[in-house]
Structure 1
Amino acid sequence: MRKLITATLLGSVLASTPALAETINLKVIGQPLATGLIQKNKEQPFFENLAENTGLPIKVNYKPLDTTGIKDVEQLRVLKSGLFDLISLRMSQVSRDEPTILGLDLVGLNPNFEQGRKVVAAYKDTVDQRLQERFNTKLLGVWPFGPQVLFCNHPINSLEDVKGLKVRVYDQNLAQFVESVGGVPVPVAFGDVHQSLALGMIECAITGPSSANSAGWPEVTTHMLPLGFQLALNGYGINLKAWNKLDEQQQQTLQAAFDELNEEIWRYSEELFLDASRCNVGEQPCDTGKSFNLVEVPVNEADLATVANTVTQVSYPTWAEQCDKSNAQCSANWKRDLADIVGL
């Protein structure tokens, strides 16, 4: 009887004791090391300290994209397969698998950070819904590298001077724009651009000033045209199987952490854009990058008008036709979300 009572009491105590939370392992792919300071100073520290800062029962294994052997265009397929649980998505590159995503950053849509914030706020839920349906992926936020500008190793005085030049692009929408102004679009992975410029395989390339500075593009170019074509939006996607391992409170905690990170990167990205733009042309202060001596090509009114008109004349029509083929409601949803912001 004594043994029976003892066993009963012990069972009651164990039943009333909360079970220790099972550790959830998160395999994470980050931005490429080559992209520079956002990856180094914001993203990687966030993931390395995520468990400690949130108190969540998670263990993060973080790897920059260019250390994995995985290509950026494969990111959504990798997430869907469950090979990795969470990925820092390079939006333009993965839009080849899901054109709906490219509606976030059509050429001419986001000429500055302020407009970009409005577009993301209005359209990200539509992108999230599509990613959940097709790729079993939840979108945890969207952030920018900043305005994407033109670097050339060939003298230019305006956008007109890219006629006949081979220009590195990173998505189909940008390729169509380059064609519309007479250039020859050439898709080149970011890590291969420096060598391609040095060897003369391309004459120009498009990226943000900070990424270009970190990757040494000013070593192999001579001119920079600071005309913003896109905002180079990126985002964080988590496989729904990994997301659903968390209870509702844990999900809210994780989402709040990503909301804070995304907001921090928006601010930091703008600081980097301004500083790196100065660094690339040898101006001061230059606090975040290496000083170079590129020729800064003045942006004229005609070039500004060309980019501004691109949304209605080139980027939206060509994208809408392609996107509707894979997602019948694509362009209708885009108009519903963004027509007032864009001014259609």
Structure 2
Amino acid sequence: MTARRSLLLGAAALALASAASAQTKWDLPSAYPPSNFHTENLVQFAADVDKATGGKLKITVHPNASLFKANEIKRAVQGGQAQAGEILLANFANENPIYALDGIPFLANSYEDARILYDVQRPALDKLLQSQGMRLLYAVAWPPQGIYTKKLINSVADMRGIKWRAYSPATARIAELIGAQPVTIQAAELTQALATGTVESYMSSGSTGYDTKTYEHIKNFYDTQAWLPKNAVIVNKKAFESLDKPTQDALLKAAAEADARGWKVSQEKNEWYKQQLADKGMTIHRPQAKLKQDLQQVGAIMLADWEKSAGPDGQALVASFKKAQAAAAAKAPAKK
């Protein structure tokens, strides 16, 4: 080997070593299957970050609770075991009422209102997560929540004693208010719970029903459109601050794009999911007036409870939401 060639090879090796040392690798755990639209959005987000940073920041998405269970992800990010993660905000209502705001039935039950609520809620979420050593990158709403049940229901009284899946404090509280038997089951465990009869009813979106093949075990979905909970993608604050400024900017830009894309896809797929459930043999019901009235009463109780626990700051958030909601309604064109 000539001295020149040896020198060139040595320089190339140094360059590769330098590139490798400059590359940052992050883990991003999620609780949902690869086919779920949230997970697909996460994978696209990671690819966008990789491209925008020229490979300097590589994010590996770990779906279906394969790295951490749903209720463990936030703690893992907070403690630095994972640099980023996706969480269902309502799962952490017991930590702080701010996390529970989008889980109150009938407070915001359309995509338009859910987006208004997010815009109002976001500064408080940012502040709360920052105080816990994290940052909010983006959040995306699930499709509106309905009731899956084995039997026909016309009112809340028909659900008394039913084995009800609870996956958050809000859904556990609903069980308490309607007289159901709550059973704590996270998304990754739901298919098995349905197959074994551990649960016979639950409240979630068309997306969850499709992903878990609920139609194989339950034949009724009541499209109550009760609320639109959000998944939030969070990042460890120290991990974020360790990135150089161009990488931070690229990450935030990709997050903003994932936010917009996720909301759009969620809304587009809402009707698609319900059609898929119907095609698989599930009956999609419009709730009877009595059932809707009963559930709205449940929502009113939960909102009052929330405002009491959240105090003046929380009450101000709800007031701001209702004001923004009324302003948006006033600007909206009249429906023919």
Q: After TM superposition, is the score higher than 0.5?
A: yes
* Alignment partner of 1:319 out of 302, 306, 328: 306
Corresponding residue SS for 1:62: strand
Aligned partner of 1:195 in structure 2 is 192
* Mapping for residues 154-173 of structure 1, pairs under 5 Å: 154-173=151-170
Cα 1:336–1:239 shift into 2, 3 Å:
farther
Corresponding residue SS for 1:25: strand
> Is the Cα–Cα contact under 8 Å of residues 31 and 64 in structure 1 kept in the other structure?
yes
Corresponding residue SS for 2:59: strand
* Alignment partner of 1:340 out of 309, 312, 323: 323
User: 2:79 is matched by which residue type in structure 1?
Assistant: S
Partner Cα distance (1:175, 1:342) in 2: 28
Give structure 2 stretches of 5+ with no counterpart: 1-17, 327-336
User: 2:323 is matched by which residue type in structure 1?
Assistant: D
Partner Cα distance (2:56, 2:143) in 1: 34
User: 1:338 is matched by which residue type in structure 2?
Assistant: F
Aligned partner of 2:91 in structure 1 is 93
> Is the Cα–Cα contact under 8 Å of residues 33 and 64 in structure 1 kept in the other structure?
yes
Partner Cα distance (1:255, 1:77) in 2: 22
> Is the Cα–Cα contact under 8 Å of residues 27 and 61 in structure 2 kept in the other structure?
yes
Structure 2 residue 46 is matched with structure 1 residue 47: yes
User: 1:62 is matched by which residue type in structure 2?
Assistant: V
Identity of aligned residues (%): 18
User: 2:158 is matched by which residue type in structure 1?
Assistant: D
1:174: Cα distance to partner?
2.4
Aligned partner of 1:184 in structure 2 is 181
Aligned partner of 2:22 in structure 1 is 22
1:61: Cα distance to partner?
2.6
Partner Cα distance (2:156, 2:286) in 1: 10
> Is the Cα–Cα contact under 8 Å of residues 226 and 296 in structure 1 kept in the other structure?
yes
User: 1:90 is matched by which residue type in structure 2?
Assistant: L
* Mapping for residues 186-265 of structure 1, pairs under 5 Å: 186-265=183-262
Cα RMSD of the aligned pairs, angstroms, is: 2.5
* Alignment partner of 1:175 out of 169, 172, 175: 172
Structure 2 residue 287 is matched with structure 1 residue 299: yes
Structure 2 residue 329 is matched with structure 1 residue 331: no
1:56: Cα distance to partner?
6.3
Partner Cα distance (2:39, 2:235) in 1: 21
1:216: Cα distance to partner?
0.8
Structure 2 residue 254 is matched with structure 1 residue 267: no
What CA deviation, in whole Å up to 9, does each residue of 1:164-216 have, x standing for no partner?
21211221222222332332332211222223233222220122112211211
Matched length = 308
> Is the Cα–Cα contact under 8 Å of residues 169 and 186 in structure 1 kept in the other structure?
yes
Partner Cα distance (1:115, 1:263) in 2: 15
> Is the Cα–Cα contact under 8 Å of residues 22 and 57 in structure 1 kept in the other structure?
yes
TM-score for both structures, normalised by structure 2: 0.82
1:91: Cα distance to partner?
1.4
Deviates more, 1:113-122 or 1:178-187: 178-187
1:154: Cα distance to partner?
2.3
Cα 1:338–1:109 shift into 2, 3 Å:
same
What CA deviation, in whole Å up to 9, does each residue of 1:63-86 have, x standing for no partner?
125211x22112221111101111
Cα 1:260–1:102 shift into 2, 3 Å:
same
What CA deviation, in whole Å up to 9, does each residue of 1:247-266 have, x standing for no partner?
44432322121111111111
User: 1:25 is matched by which residue type in structure 2?
Assistant: K
Aligned partner of 1:288 in structure 2 is none
1:218: Cα distance to partner?
0.6
Partner Cα distance (2:96, 2:54) in 1: 34
TM-score for both structures, normalised by structure 1: 0.81
> Is the Cα–Cα contact under 8 Å of residues 158 and 298 in structure 1 kept in the other structure?
no
> Is the Cα–Cα contact under 8 Å of residues 31 and 69 in structure 2 kept in the other structure?
no
1:223: Cα distance to partner?
1.1
Partner Cα distance (1:40, 1:190) in 2: 13
Partner Cα distance (2:54, 2:64) in 1: 26
Cα 1:208–1:79 shift into 2, 3 Å:
same
Cα 1:252–1:56 shift into 2, 3 Å:
farther
Give structure 1 stretches of 5+ with no counterpart: 1-18, 283-291
